Structure 1
Amino acid sequence: MFTPTVLAASLLKDPMLLFLSGLALLVLFFWYFATDVEIRKRNIGTILIIGTCVLCALAIYPPKENLKGGINLVGGFSYTLQVQPKIDEDTGKPIPLTPDDLKQAKSIIEKRLNALGTTEMEVVEQGTDKILVQIPGVAAEDAPGVRKTLDQVAKLELRRVNQDGFKQDGPGNLTLAERIFKREAPRMPGYTAYEYKQTHEDIERTSYVLLTNRAALTGKDVQEAWPNNQMGKVAVSIRLTSAGEDKMINLTKDMKEGQDSIAVLLDNEVLTAPVVQKVPLGRDFEITGQSNLEEARSLSNALKNPLENPMRIINDREISPKLGATVVKQGMWSGIVGLSITALFVLIYYRTAGIVALFGLAVNGLMVFGGMALFNFTFSLPGIAGMILTIGMAVDANVLIYERLREELAAGKSLKTAISAAYDKAFSAIFDSNITSLITAIILFWVGSGSIKGFAVTLTIGLLSSMFSAILVTRVLFRWANDLKLLKRLTFLDLIKSTKWDFLSKAKLSYVISGILIAASVGAVAYRGESSLGVDFTGGSILTFQLDDKHLDPHEVETAVAKVETAKLASVQSEKSITGELLTIRCAEGDAPKIEAALREAFPLLAEKRMSGDNEVYAIAANVEGVSASLGSDFMKESLLALGLGLIGILIYITLRFEFSFALGGFVALLHDVVLSAGIVILLGSELSLIHVGALLTIAGYSINDTIVIFDRIRESLKSSEETDVKELMNEAINATLSRTILTSLTTIVTVAIIAIFGGAALKDFAIMILIGLVIGTYSSIFIASPVVLWWSQRKGGSLRKEVLRTTLAESDIHATP
């Protein structure tokens, strides 16, 4: 009997079955858009929806195992690594560590553990020779495997085997290599003896080889490494660089086939020492000796990211969620309440059509969670930001379609014709707005790291699922309702009446208002300087109390810390190690003494003292260490680079799909929203932190989505109307989309406002910044983006209509029958 667990495991753990399932759904997807037969379209769409929902449900089940939370939400493990100095091959003496050695080790650890950006881990430099690694959701039984990955230097070397080492002489007929290894014979200049362990049919055999001291090839010569399993033989395939290939040819060209050998060493241990069967060897070779495919995969990942400096794990700890179970519950319940209010509004406002929209949103949510589970992605605060954005865009897509449907019904069309026309006309706006956000997400994933990648991953999955649910799912439901005669008419509430406001005449006033706010924001940043950035960006100190078997409530500690006048906001975290419980506070450099004094005064446990010799000391000692920024200058550069490239990508796409005037308007509005949102937060006295980065990315995505919808309507009006006054046409287009703009903004604002009020202190900063961004984004789409489009098109006596009609892609818009 197939239970859901067994079915899910059999499908998701078999790569071929999973691939075939995905391929079948992809074929159905393209078949759906390729056919023009309504009944066939309806049936294919139904199978596609059911298949997608089943696959996502199986990926999620059971949710406790398959939905992974970030370290802020679920806790995990913390490892403290000490970077060891390299040894000079000529003198044998250690080479002093440099800051670059620490940065290289940090970078390699991130790549090994999080190559795809699927895990919201944190890697920070600590002191002059330590690296702190925090990994979410690591179970106790998985911790040793992570430890092994961290501990592995992956120093790969290829050395020539001296055949004299196999000669047997002396007592016991030992080989020369074995006698040298056991120090029963003097060392041979230029050579070192190594132990070589081989396992065959579960029988381990130890032999000895004599190798040259200098490696012919090293890990720097490896271009690519990957695991393979052919005919039950597990190995790691290696491909060398061009320089590595030359070194391999030089090493093997004078060797004798079937006689000479090459030894492959990893971290100074001989993995294999095969006899050369063909000379000279070239660019590709294999390393054998792994017991299973997982071991080969781990080795290949390490070989692709070799450490130049060895590392030693000096501490590992189990850490509690930074936000705590209470805060997580608050966030979840406030989100559920906010979404429920949004759903209720959609249901009341759009009535029967609202039921269809809610079904589409439910499928959208299932696909987001299913996609995250299917690819083992991690939910974090920035990831949740991506979810909020995609839910907002999914609601927006439905509002776009329904407001178009209202117009078509008002024009006297039959219900079936009106539904078809509404989907057809709304498609380009939905497509363009989602594609621009998708461009941003892809660039963020490509350029960013850590939390930025987490946001990009969630946003990408959400965008694809929202387009699927809004365009395909709801359309198929309407087809069934029409074909089964279940839907004879549709009625909507009409609270936002048609308007004829002259928005573009307010351009100068809006420029003045925005200019004043931007100047004030820039002034606030200049005045506050580094104090406008949180510890995430600037680094600081970690204050640690070793509590052993005692306990302090982290939330009570947070309350006590909040009362201390500090240079920057501090964060509190509870951790567990083999020695017991620890309490750590990350704070600005110089704040640690004040926080320590305040906590010892607030908690009797920390105030207890004992005698140490003739001196009285605190029973619970405090340790202070400098710590690098968890984001730091590199993260800041990555964020700015990702945002800059995203803006350029959007500029290019809008230029191709619309015209450069529109691209410039969207670019200016997006830059305006990001700068102003961050500036107002700083003006209000807050510090920019990791949470704010997620919020800014959300605002950028939401802003461009709103702007594109208005641009699409303006372009449509310019192409279809004979009106000569372009300014008047643009005003009409903005007024036509005003109801959609207000409805979408209000539903999203209500959801975020509830999170800000009831979501707890940890989510308050995040929600407040998004609220500010939503208001600014809605304002800029109307009062900044559109006036810039008009100004640029008219600056040399040009005509926006002619530009639109002249644009090739604008004349051949993407049309698809959903």
Structure 2
Amino acid sequence: MFPSTFFASILLKDPMFLFLSGLGLLVLFFWYFATELESRKRNVGTFLILGICGLMALALYPPKESLKGGIDLVGGSSFTLQVKPKLDETTGQPIPLMKEDVTQAKSIIEKRLNERGTKDLQTYETGEDKILVQMPGMSPEESEEVKELLEKVARLELRRVNLEGFHPGPDGRTLAERIDSGDEPRKPGFGVFKHSYEDREGNTRTEFLLLNNRVALTGKDVATAYPETMGASHNVAITLTSAGGDKMINLTKDMAPGRDRIAVVLDGEVITAPTVQSVPLGKRFQIEGQSSHDEARSLSNALKNPLENPLEIIETRVISPTLGAAVITQGIWAGIIGLTLTALFVLIYYRTAGLVALIGLTVNTIMIFGGMAMFGFTFTLPGIAGMILSIGMAVDANVLIYERLREEIGHGKSLKSAISAAYDKAFSAIFDSNITSLITALILFWMGSGTVKGFAITLTIGLLSSIFSAILVTRVMFRWGNDLHLLKKLSFLDLIKSSTFDFLSKVKPAYVVSGLLLLASLGGFVFRGQKGLGIDFTGGTQIQFELGSHHIEQAAVEASLEKVQTSKRPSVQEEKAISGEQLTIRCADQDVDAIVANLRESFPILGEKVEEVKNGEKTGDMVYAIQQSTDSVSAALGKDFMIESCIALGLGLLGILTYITLRFEFSFALGGFLALIHDVVMSAGIIILCGGELSLIHVAALLTIAGYSVNDTIIIFDRIRESLKEGDGDVKILMNEAINATLSRTILTSLTTIATVTVLAILGTGQLQDFSLMILIGLIVGTYSSIFIAAPVVLWWSERKGGSLRKEILHTTLAESDIQTVN
């Protein structure tokens, strides 16, 4: 490791450095917004920008080590686990395995391995008693740690020690020791456990304990568990639930201090058996004797998430990237081309102001990547979707400010006054649009898991970065330009002239078109049913070929399978195991025979036959040299994931509905809500109607579309509200004027975003292309709905009982003055 890399890693792992850095930046942040002096605001803002960029750059160095790719981008490790039956405490016989046991084990695994939600962890059930766990590439040391964590049942039990077990017999051995050796009959209701420990001189001692078979407390009674390290001592501090505390009191209230003992049993092994020093004991106690802080942390995590059933790792594999190096390269080039087109547009259209915007976007990008690196978050394809959305919103914020600036300059204001007014007037729209998206992101993070959580994390970091870069960074740059007399005049292209189009008079045709498309979309869902859902959601069969030392290109297999008529599109994956390379295809149950026949015909290695050998003797029958195995596979994050995503998105919609109602009026909330539902249903419906299949990647695309739709709608709503507050006359005319005033911003932002996504759709293949196509559909539908669905619904709802939208706005419960801009 280079010295600079070592220095950066040491600093970022030092809690004191992170605390002082964060505290200093927080002080600068509040100082910036608190001060009224322009020169001081400029200077403080500059130091704040440099400080944040410096910290993020430190977190990013070196990029190859600091930025983590998800399993869909960089490959990773795969563990196949078998869920074992638990034993009856009374009879010791296995209890038949239930479906709920496997589901509970899957849930606990997710919590153990992804406690902070920072990893792209994928877990799904396969067969009747197996769970497949996929994680991004990790070192051999990390893989061993994961294995240990997966197999740890963490069945915690507290049992009373029967002191009769220590009574010596004629041969000097204790009763417990004689029972263990079989020289004494078992005592009903009690069992013997061996306890190894170190005495004060450091010598290892072993004692035999006679423990009550009745378990006084279990892991279910644990409320919290966390590691504690003091010097060389590493312990786990445990706090019991209220019910657990009552059980502890009942257990110890009749004990004799200094004589009676309690045994702490973990996974059938006595960890410690201390003598009770005071009675009764309460809700808190410690498990001592862990060899390191990492071991204590691992144990505490397992205790918080105890397994009811033991797990056995029956196979470990190293998986190649699902998308493949070629697709990653396509994505990188598409991103570069798309961002280059956006940068050129901003520079050409806004000229000097465009250069300022690019500086802000650069800071925004540094903050996104630096934040992901600093907190150890993983980049996945859905996560990149969140980043695309947040960067698009950052571009949108700059366009919004500059279009306002154009208006203020057109009103004859000086450049300095026009810049100040533009930021003041654009602030509420930028704030509202980002906050509504942030509400959705936070709820998705809270409710979601895996793919959804990865999207939410990236989107949250991106939204906070975009607000900072658009409002603070570019404002500070303009202050420097004014104070140094570098900016005397700003000029922009004006390709989209002011219009007076009567959008609200086109309500009926728009409703007819939308209604027909929505009915067609819903009809597509009903008519195609399971055919419109990919294997991710319906499950299917996993076909596996053990290739050994042979190799078949994944791209060649995918190209070959395109010639096969299948009920669902199969997915191909290269894998490596101890036995060598493996080829795995996930497909619909009814497509297995056609796919196997095609592959054996297309690839000579798979079509080669040899004479069958049984029990060391040849049978004379010819069989394939490379046999295939098949196993039923449940939906990868399937129905549970879909339900979870829908609940999270529904709660997000409820949060947005509440916020818009408070910030605007219910009529606006209803318009935004219906427009968002319109966009999500129609985008998914168009994919279904065109013969596509919805998969997990489309869920990420729909979340992106929802975020874009809300952002676009809120900005139009903000301008409508401003026009109705300040203007007189017919409400419908004022609403049309407001929509026309934002038309240039709507068109410019939509075109730049559409251009970027179009490049991605053209250059991408596979999942990347599926994702891009849905985003492209959603962008077009979302732009349309903000104007022709959301705004007309607002007018209709406010007037349905003879009400006045202007009066509603003037009496809104959350006044504009409640959120002050201090730029």
Q: TM-score, normalised by structure 1?
A: 0.98
Q: How far off its partner does 1:170 sit?
A: 4.6
Q: What residue ranges of structure 1 are gaps of 5+ in the alignment?
A: none
Q: Deviations over 1:579-618 (max 9, x none)?
A: 1111111111222221111101100000111112312111
Measure, in 2, the Cα distance between the counterparts of 1:257 and 1:663: 65
Match of 1:664 in 2: 670
* Contact 1:331 1:760 (8 Å CA) reproduced: no
Secondary structure in 2 aligned to 1:486? coil
**Residue 756 of structure 1: aligned partner:** 761
Structure 1 partner of 2:807: 802
- Once residues 379 and 544 of structure 2 are traced to their aligned partners in structure 1, the CA distance between those partners, rounded to angstroms, is 28
Determine the C-alpha separation between the residues in 1 that align with 2:389 and 2:524.
28
- The 5 Å alignment of 1:290-301 reads 290-301=290-301
Residue 197 of structure 1 aligns with an amino acid whose one-letter code is S
Match of 1:737 among 742, 746, 768: 742
Q: Give CA deviations for 1:281-312 in whole Å, capped at 9, x if unaligned.
A: 11111111111111111111111111111111
Give the letter for the 1:298 counterpart: S
The reply on whether 1:654 has 2:660 as its aligned counterpart is yes
Which amino acid letter does the alignment assign opposite residue 791 of structure 1?
W
What does 1:139-288 align with in structure 2 at a 5 Å threshold? 139-171=139-171, 173-199=172-198, 203-288=203-288
Q: Structure 1 residues 170, 751: CA separation in 2 closer, same or farther (over 3 Å shift)?
A: farther
The residue identity in structure 2 corresponding to 1:673 is D
SS at match of 1:564: coil
Counterpart residue number, 2:114: 114
Displacement of 1:364 in angstroms is 0.5
Partner of 2:471: 471
Deviation (angstroms), 1:375: 1.1
Q: Which of 785, 791, 795 is the equivalent residue of 1:790?
A: 795
One-letter code aligned to 1:801: R
Q: Structure 2 CA distance, aligned partners of 1:397 and 1:259?
A: 72
Pairing of 1:719-730 with structure 2 (within 5 A)? 719-721=725-727, 723-730=728-735
Residues in 1 aligned to 2:170 and 2:150: alpha-carbon distance in whole angstroms? 43
CA RMSD of aligned residues (A): 1.4
Whole-Å Cα distance in 1 between the matches of residues 529 and 816 of structure 2?
49
- Shift of the 472–92 alpha-carbon distance from structure 1 to 2, 3 Å rule, reads same
Deviation at 1:139, TM superposition (A): 2.0
- Structure 1 letter corresponding to 2:174: T
SS in 1 for 2:290: coil
Tell me which residue corresponds to 2:419: 419
Secondary structure class of the residue paired with 2:589: coil
User: Residue in 2 aligned with 1:631?
Assistant: 637
Helix, strand or coil at the partner of 1:141: helix
3-state SS, counterpart of residue 117 of structure 1: coil
- Corresponding residue for residue 615 of structure 2: none
Q: What one-letter code is carried by the residue in structure 2 that aligns with 1:617?
A: V
Taking the aligned partners of 2:760 and 2:284, their CA distance within structure 1 comes to 55
Give 1:576's aligned amino acid: K
Cα distance between partner residues in 2 of 1:618 and 1:386: 46
Q: Amino acid of the residue matched to residue 251 of structure 1?
A: L
**2:334/2:764 contact within 8 Å kept:** yes
* In 2, Cα distance between equivalents of 1:197 and 1:497: 84
* Partner in structure 2 of residue 434 of structure 1: 434
Q: Which residue of 2 aligns with 1:136?
A: 136
String of CA shifts for 1:118-146, please: whole Å, max 9, x gaps. 11121111101111111112222311100
Tell me how far 1:6 sits from its aligned partner: 2.9
Mapped to 1, the partners of 2:538 and 2:270 lie a distance apart of 44
**Using the alignment, how far apart are the partners of 2:40 and 2:178 within structure 1?**
80
Contact 1:444–1:643 under 8 Å retained in 2 = yes
CA contact (8 A) 2:123 2:637 kept: no
Shift of 1:16: 2.6
Shift of 1:399: 0.3
Q: Per-residue deviation at 1:567?
A: 1.3
Q: How far apart are 1:810 and its partner, in Å? A: 3.0
Is the contact made by 1:390 and 1:459 (CA closer than 8 Å) also made in structure 2?
yes
Alignment of 1:345-744 (within 5 A): 345-612=345-612, 613-614=618-619, 615-721=621-727, 723-744=728-749
- The 8 Å contact of residues 155 and 308 in structure 1, kept in 2 or not, is answered as yes
Deviation at 1:3, TM superposition (A): 4.3
Q: In structure 2, the residue corresponding to 1:808 is in which secondary structure?
A: coil
Unaligned runs of 5+ in 2: 613-617
- Match of 1:784, as an amino acid? I
Is the 1:223–1:239 contact (alpha carbons within 8 Å) kept by the matching residues of 2? Answer: yes
Q: Name whichever of 631-640 and 381-390 sits farther off.
A: 631-640
Report how far residue 342 of structure 1 moved. 0.5
Q: Shift of the alpha carbon at 1:113? A: 0.8
Structure 1 residues 236-245 or 654-663, which shifts more? 236-245
In the TM superposition, residue 181 of structure 1 has moved relative to its aligned partner by 3.0
Q: Which amino acid aligns with 2:749?
A: T
Q: Which amino acid aligns with 2:778?
A: G
* 1:352-407 Cα distance to aligned partner (Å, 9 max, x none): 11111111101101111111111111111110110110010000000011111111
Kept in 2: contact 1:428–1:813 (CA 8 A): no
Of all paired residues, the percent bearing the same amino acid is: 67
CA contact (8 A) 2:233 2:289 kept: no
* Secondary structure of 1:44's aligned partner: helix
**Distance change in 2, residues 1:508/1:151 (3 Å):** same
* Cα shift readout 1:449-474 (whole Å, capped 9, x = no counterpart): 11111111110000000000110111
The secondary structure found in structure 2 opposite 1:525 is: helix
Residue of structure 1 equivalent to 2:123: 123
CA distance in 2 between counterparts of 1:126 and 1:387 reads: 32
Shift of 1:184: 4.4
What is the identity, as a one-letter code, of the residue corresponding to 1:696? Answer: L
Instruction: Say yes or no: does 1:746 pair with 2:751.
Output: yes
Deviation at 1:488, TM superposition (A): 1.2
Map Cα deviations across residues 199-230 of structure 1 (whole Å, 9 max, x no partner). 46865433332211221111111111111223
Aligned residues: 816
Comparing 158-167 and 794-803, the one that deviates more: 158-167
Q: Partners of 1:548 and 1:122 in 2: how far apart?
A: 26
Q: TM-score, normalising length from structure 2?
A: 0.97
SS state of the match for residue 819, structure 2? coil
Cα 1:31–1:763 change in 2 (3 A) is same
1:170 and 1:600 map into 2 onto residues whose CA distance is 74
Residues 547-570 of structure 1: CA deviation (Å, up to 9, x unaligned):
111111111111112221111111
Pick which of 367-376 and 777-786 moved more. 367-376
- CA shift, 1:15, in A, is 1.8
User: 1:346: how far off?
Assistant: 0.5
* One-letter amino acid of the structure 1 residue matched with residue 800 of structure 2: R
1:50 and 1:2 mapped to 2: Cα distance?
25
Q: Secondary structure at the match of 1:194?
A: strand
Query: Which whole-Å CA distance do the structure 2 matches of 1:182 and 1:60 have between them?
Result: 61
Using the alignment, how far apart are the partners of 1:293 and 1:170 within structure 2?
Answer: 45
Q: Name whichever of 769-778 and 235-244 sits farther off.
A: 235-244
Q: Aligned residue for 2:97?
A: 97
Cα distance in 1, alignment partners of residues 203 and 59 from structure 2? 41
